[in-house]
A and B are shown apart, each in its own frame.
Chain A
Amino acid sequence: MSGADEPAQQSPGPRAVVEVRHLLDRAVAAYAAAPGAGAAEAVGTLERRLAGLDAPLRVALAGKLKAGKSTLLNALLGVELAASDHAECTRVLTWYRWTRTPSVTVHPVDGAPWSSPPRRGPGGLEIDLRGRPAPQIDRIEVGWPAPGLRRTTLVDTPGLDSLSRDVSERTRAFLTGDDGEPADGEPVVDAVVYLLRHLHATDVRFLESFGAGRGARGAAPGTVAVLSRADEVGVGRIDAMIASGRVAERYRGEASLRPLVQTVVPVAGLLAVTGQTLREDEVADLRALARLDRTVTDGLLLSVDRFRRPSLDLPVPAAARAALLSRFGLFGVRLALTLLRTQDLPAPVLAGELERRSGLTELRRVLDAQLTARRDVLRAQGAVLALTRLLDEHPVPGGRELAAECERLTLAGHGVRELELLRALRTPGLALPADALAAAERLLGAQGDRPTDRLALPPDAEPDRVAEAARRAREEWLERGRHPLADRETRRACRLVVRTCEALLEPVSVAAPGRA
């Protein structure tokens, strides 16, 4: 590799995008010159791709029925927009994009789209479907000035195992990218946050199918699994989040899941939403309950029915208690009361504490570290993959050169290679011990993209220390790559990790800021 490629390693994002845009421009020209309907269609596809290069990262929330997709979506938005109910409620694909003023547009399967007044009811947005049943609606687009949407576009999907087969088939097609006409095999989202309550065989199959649609080798680049409704893992006990952390840890090591997702994060979605939208009156009610005698509150917290039962002896009326329950869940109430009992926290502090303990903070960090910071890489890679496939299906004059360029770009960008190696590390086959695998993953940015994340240092470590750690890591991996028994794949992997270390070593000051 020549010296000219070095800058690309330091900031793979912009450079990769520039190169890919250039390539796409050439491909558009090639197809525009070619005859036939297929070529015209290809031009359309490529132009959408070009436009897509500048779009925000599109993250789809997917999962089975009642996995808590809409609740998590609300938590990520910071606003309660998506309806979440005990029954199956998201029946239509819904896009959430950032706009200055709220707007809602409904796209039916056939016919012209119409806009619905953006009205928020108690259970989220109230959307006018003009009496059409869900299977006749293609998608709903919601524009909202929600803070969470500035950097990402979120897609809420109906359950993959919906009792309505039409709906679940459409979701699956959307996520796997074989959505028929408009998508034309190209991925419509950059990353998937997959929610699961318990790891079922069907979950693994869904995850595999996302990968198959997007990366040719079965592993999707941007998939994060969320152990949702994490407070229910420990049946709402006060240590439920610790229990769910243990379960998430086990899933992270699960052989069937490892190649398919980058990490597993437990999140108590309901608590996360409530933490962000906590109201003073709720805190006041909780305070009043926390001041009661322990035996009284313990009796109340035995069951949901006991908690909301009418009683004259309690300072909080039954209706308010029922409202607390639906906002916090039994675990949330238990947690909040415990927090308030030990310390008289002001509302904003309590809100922050709930949000942290809900696991949302960790999920945001993972999304930033593993998805958003690498969106350029993913986007560029997605575009190159789409072009490769297009060239395969509709050959054009000059296609061979374009294909070669695609291949070069797939190989050249170090960021993409890091992602690929990360994927490879997660499939069995490399002859490396488990701790070395973990260290390699970390160096390649699995835990975060900043040098300190990669080198397992505290975020405020001095540059000298960072450089020293990078040097040590580089030597260690050089050594490992020279091991006489190492096979070819392992050596290649070691070389790549060494390059990563070198990139970390040189321009610490350049790499540290502003990658997000």
Chain B
Amino acid sequence: MEPLADLLDRAVEVTADSGRPDLMARLEAARRRLRDPHVRVLVVGEFKQGKSQLVNALVNAPVCPVDDDVATSVPTVVAHGDVPSATLVLAPPDLPDDGSGAAATASATRVPVPLESLAEHVSELGNPGNARRLSHAEVTLPRSLLADGLVLVDTPGVGGLGSTHAANTMAALPTADAVLLVSDAAQEYSEPELEFLDHAMRLCPTVACVLTKTDLYPQWRQVADLDRGHLEAAGARVRLMPVSSALRLHAARTRDADLHGESGFPELVSYLREDVVGRAGTLARRSTTHDVLAVTDHLAMSARAELSALEDPAGSAAMIEELVAARETTGELRRRSARWQQTLGDGVTDLAADVEYDLRDRLRKITREAEEAVDTADPGVVWDEFDGWLVQRIASAVAANFVWAHERAQWLAGQVAQHFDRDGTVALPELLRGDSDEVLELVARLERVEVERVGPTQKTLIALRGSYGGILMFGMVTAVTLGMSIINPFSVGIGVIMGGKAYRDDHRARVKRRQAEAKAAVRRHVDEVIFQVSKDSKDRLRTMQRVLRDHFTTTADELYRSLDDSVRTAREAAKAGEADRAERAAHVRATVARIEGVRAAAARLVDAPATRVGVPA
């Protein structure tokens, strides 16, 4: 990142003299972003595909537990650190949610543990179903692969990619810089995998597929070809890399370069370095240079206005008039009544309603299916399976709703940017652009909560599941046992007369009652889900609205100040005496030259070749 840091330093230097704290703040923010180059790579897939072993092989250390049976139950984050260490992060005990998610960030407890004992905490054996409520585990290792800010996140495998785990993974997708979809060479892609891939590609910019266990399956080449065929048929331009974690680990032990080549890891590592970290570098460079260009444009505008007033006092009146007009338009933009503000406000309101409607619609279908299912069987008997089915269906509906809302939100952001653009183009300098790329990035950054922390929605879903399952099961059990114990003394006496009929009638009545109870429970649960999820998505939309408003208002403010400065300096220049004028002009010319210099440097970086920024060769 050296050239970028230099560029920022130079930009700060020229801005410092100008007395523009707003522009300084923008540069400072850019510098902070540059210093924290975390590139998160989510390793996802169905269970038993070799995800944990892949992470282990990448960092060449047994950090993630690997087992013949289902292993990982808690996400493990592997990042760079000077000393190997492991930390467990406990889920906050409760969720006093104020809508900002800040509560969750504050109350997380961190417990350092020895690296060797990590398996006891994050594996299905030591911590079945994550009974200890760990949010995630963090591991640091001194590895050159991770040194550039690469962070690998090993996720629990998902059964069928439609379960609660999958919903969690889905929510984490927009926050990841890249996703590795792991599937082993035993078979070609299944439908759920392709579906998941489709979702992933819509939520995350960089997706790659990894085919594991090529040491074990003789037909891995054919499977790879079939998978590539499926990817092509699905219109997914995604790379597929066959690897063998076992070979890489063995090669590392025996220092066998040939074997390492056969493992397929060189390609994967260079992909992570160049495409993932490199792309993140490109993005960082783009946004930094963008900031620098904008700042220098602002500075140059007032300097140039002053300069032309100094050089041509006669023509300055017309120019000042133009500037004043531009300032007026910009002033309009800052007002709440501006059209983009209305678009944003209306858009968010509509979107909130649409998202809720979409969710209700999806869940209504599920409720109907659930009621049909309840009608056909005794819910007391099939409850466990039914419960699992329901939770899974709801989770995938919520995930689909999330993807849809995300896309709509992006569309809205683009729309607002366009309006801002159109309103601003009247008599305004080039400078004012509603850069839709930048806006999209802003929306994406909104989702940048910690990947591995269970999002409020998912947390609620899980908590709700516990409560509703509990209530119903408890109700069922008491119904059954109480029913029994009341009926027992009766049936002893009356049984002789009534025989099996009473029992059968009673049984039928009890089944009816259980069916009614189950239906009520389902409806109650779905209501709760709608309530929580729509609150959650409303919060998200509100945050988006706030961020977009702030972004555009700041842009308008900056421009207003620049125009204001220009008007002021031009007027002063026009009034200045002949003697001062030459001296001042020379000074301003020098300033303009410096600004131009920085601007040119920034422009050169934009045009530089795209690869290998910030990645040591």
Seen from chain A, the residues whose Cβ lies within 8 Å of a Cβ on chain B are 64-66, 86-88, 161, 163, 197-202, 204-205, 208, 212, 217-218, 229, 232-236, 240, 243-244, 246-247, 250, 255-256, 259, 302-306, 308, 322, 325-326, 329-330, 427-429, 487-489
Contacts of B617 in A (CB 8 A): none
Q: How far apart sit A161 and B388, CA to CA, in the bound complex (Å)?
A: 19
Closest Cβ of chain B to A400, distance in Å, is: 15
Given contacts A208-B385, A243-B69, A255-B384, 6 further A-B contacts (CB under 8 A): A198-B70, A200-B160, A233-B68, A247-B68, A250-B69, A302-B215
Please provide the chain B residues from 136 to 164 with a CB less than 8 Å away from any CB of chain A in the complex: 159-160, 162-163
Per a CB cutoff under 8 Å, which of B70, B216, B262, B380 touches A232?
B216
Q: How far apart sit A204 and B386, CA to CA, in the bound complex (Å)?
A: 10
User: What is the chain B residue whose CB lies nearest that of A249?
Assistant: B69
10 A-B pairs closest in CB distance: A303-B215, A66-B187, A86-B219, A243-B68, A200-B159, A200-B160, A202-B160, A304-B218, A201-B160, A487-B484
Q: Mark B447-480, 1 if CB is under 8 A from A, else 0.
A: 0000000000000000000000000000000001
Q: How far apart sit A107 and B559, CA to CA, in the bound complex (Å)?
A: 76
Per a CB cutoff under 8 Å, which of A201, A305, A329 touches B159?
A201
Contacts of A65 in B (CB 8 A): 187-188, 190
Contact present for A234 and B487 (CB under 8 Å): no
Assess whether B381 is interfacial by the CB under 8 Å rule.
Answer: yes
Per a CB cutoff under 8 Å, which of A229, A250, A256, A322 touches B384?
A256
Contacts of A250 in B (CB 8 A): 69
Contact present for A303 and B262 (CB under 8 Å): yes
Q: How far apart sit A197 and B49, CA to CA, in the bound complex (Å)?
A: 11
Q: How far apart sit A205 and B385, CA to CA, in the bound complex (Å)?
A: 8
Contacts of A87 in B (CB 8 A): 188, 222, 226
Contact present for A488 and B491 (CB under 8 Å): yes
Contact present for B46 and A217 (CB under 8 Å): no
Assess whether B191 is interfacial by the CB under 8 Å rule.
Answer: yes
Closest Cβ of chain B to A430, distance in Å, is: 11
Contact present for A86 and B187 (CB under 8 Å): yes
Per a CB cutoff under 8 Å, which of B216, B219, B491 touches A235?
B216
Assess whether B382 is interfacial by the CB under 8 Å rule.
Answer: yes
Please provide the chain B residues from 206 to 244 with a CB less than 8 Å away from any CB of chain A in the complex: 213-220, 222-223, 226, 230, 244
Contact present for A236 and B216 (CB under 8 Å): yes
User: What is the chain A residue whose CB lies nearest that of B50?
Assistant: A235
Q: Mark B374-395, 1 if CB is under 8 A from A, else 0.
A: 0011101110110011001000
Contacts of B68 in A (CB 8 A): 233-235, 240, 243-244, 246-247
Contact A217 B381, CB 8 Å, known A212-B376, A235-B246: yes
Assess whether B48 is interfacial by the CB under 8 Å rule.
Answer: yes
Contact A302 B480, CB 8 Å, known A87-B188, A247-B68: no
Q: How far apart sit A344 and B368, CA to CA, in the bound complex (Å)?
A: 65
Contact present for B188 and A204 (CB under 8 Å): no
Contacts of B481 in A (CB 8 A): 487
Contact present for B377 and A487 (CB under 8 Å): no
Contact residues on B (Cβ < 8 Å of other chain), bracket: 35 or more
Q: How far apart sit A255 and B388, CA to CA, in the bound complex (Å)?
A: 12
Contacts of A197 in B (CB 8 A): 48, 186
Assess whether B488 is interfacial by the CB under 8 Å rule.
Answer: yes
Contact present for B244 and A229 (CB under 8 Å): no
Contact present for A201 and B188 (CB under 8 Å): no
Q: How far apart sit A83 and B377, CA to CA, in the bound complex (Å)?
A: 39
Contact present for B382 and A208 (CB under 8 Å): yes
User: What is the chain B residue whose CB lies nearest that of A208?
Assistant: B385
Assess whether B250 is interfacial by the CB under 8 Å rule.
Answer: yes
Seen from chain B, the residues whose Cβ lies within 8 Å of a Cβ on chain A are 46-48, 68-70, 159-160, 162-163, 186-188, 190-192, 213-220, 222-223, 226, 230, 244, 246-247, 250, 259, 262, 376-378, 380-382, 384-385, 388-389, 392, 480-481, 484-485, 487-488, 491
Closest Cβ of chain B to A258, distance in Å, is: 10
Closest Cβ of chain B to A410, distance in Å, is: 13
Contact A304 B217, CB 8 Å, known A86-B222, A87-B222, A205-B389: yes
User: What is the chain B residue whose CB lies nearest that of A243?
Assistant: B68
Contacts of A217 in B (CB 8 A): 377-378, 381
Per a CB cutoff under 8 Å, which of B159, B214, B250, B392 touches A198?
B159
Q: How far apart sit A233 and B47, CA to CA, in the bound complex (Å)?
A: 12
Closest Cβ of chain A to B242, distance in Å, is: 10
Contacts of B381 in A (CB 8 A): 217-218, 259, 427, 429
Interface centre among B160, B250, B385, B389 (most CB of A within 10 A): B385
23 cross-chain CB contacts under 8 A: A65-B190, A86-B187, A86-B188, A87-B222, A87-B226, A88-B188, A201-B392, A208-B382, A233-B69, A243-B69, A247-B68, A247-B69, A255-B384, A256-B384, A259-B381, A302-B215, A303-B214, A325-B218, A329-B218, A330-B216, A428-B384, A429-B380, A488-B484
Contacts of A235 in B (CB 8 A): 68, 213, 216, 246
User: What is the chain B residue whose CB lies nearest that of A165?
Assistant: B191
Interface centre among A201, A243, A244 (most CB of B within 10 A): A201
Contacts of A247 in B (CB 8 A): 68-69
Q: How far apart sit A326 and B222, CA to CA, in the bound complex (Å)?
A: 13
Closest Cβ of chain A to B583, distance in Å, is: 78
Q: How far apart sit A428 and B69, CA to CA, in the bound complex (Å)?
A: 25
Contact present for A218 and B377 (CB under 8 Å): yes
User: What is the chain B residue whose CB lies nearest that of A304?
Assistant: B218
Contacts of B69 in A (CB 8 A): 233, 243, 246-247, 250
Contacts of B484 in A (CB 8 A): 487-489
Contact A64 B190, CB 8 Å, known A212-B377, A234-B68, A305-B262: yes
Closest Cβ of chain A to B508, distance in Å, is: 13
Q: How far apart sit A91 and B71, CA to CA, in the bound complex (Å)?
A: 33
Contacts of B223 in A (CB 8 A): 86
Closest Cβ of chain A to B482, distance in Å, is: 11
Contact present for A201 and B388 (CB under 8 Å): yes
Interface centre among B48, B220, B250, B488 (most CB of A within 10 A): B48
Contacts of A305 in B (CB 8 A): 214-215, 262
Closest Cβ of chain A to B478, distance in Å, is: 13
Contact present for A204 and B385 (CB under 8 Å): yes
Q: How far apart sit A236 and B70, CA to CA, in the bound complex (Å)?
A: 16
Q: How far apart sit A304 and B221, CA to CA, in the bound complex (Å)?
A: 11
Q: How far apart sit A297 and B395, CA to CA, in the bound complex (Å)?
A: 49
Per a CB cutoff under 8 Å, which of B190, B219, B250, B389 touches A161?
B190
User: What is the chain B residue whose CB lies nearest that of A251?
Assistant: B69
Per a CB cutoff under 8 Å, which of B159, B163, B220, B485 touches A304?
B220
Q: How far apart sit A247 and B70, CA to CA, in the bound complex (Å)?
A: 9
Closest Cβ of chain B to A195, distance in Å, is: 13
Q: How far apart sit A485 and B481, CA to CA, in the bound complex (Å)?
A: 12
Q: How far apart sit A427 and B480, CA to CA, in the bound complex (Å)?
A: 14
Contact present for A199 and B159 (CB under 8 Å): yes
User: What is the chain A residue whose CB lies nearest that of B220?
Assistant: A304
Per a CB cutoff under 8 Å, which of B159, B218, B389, B488 touches A487?
B488
Interface centre among A204, A218, A235, A236 (most CB of B within 10 A): A235
User: What is the chain B residue whose CB lies nearest that of A329?
Assistant: B218
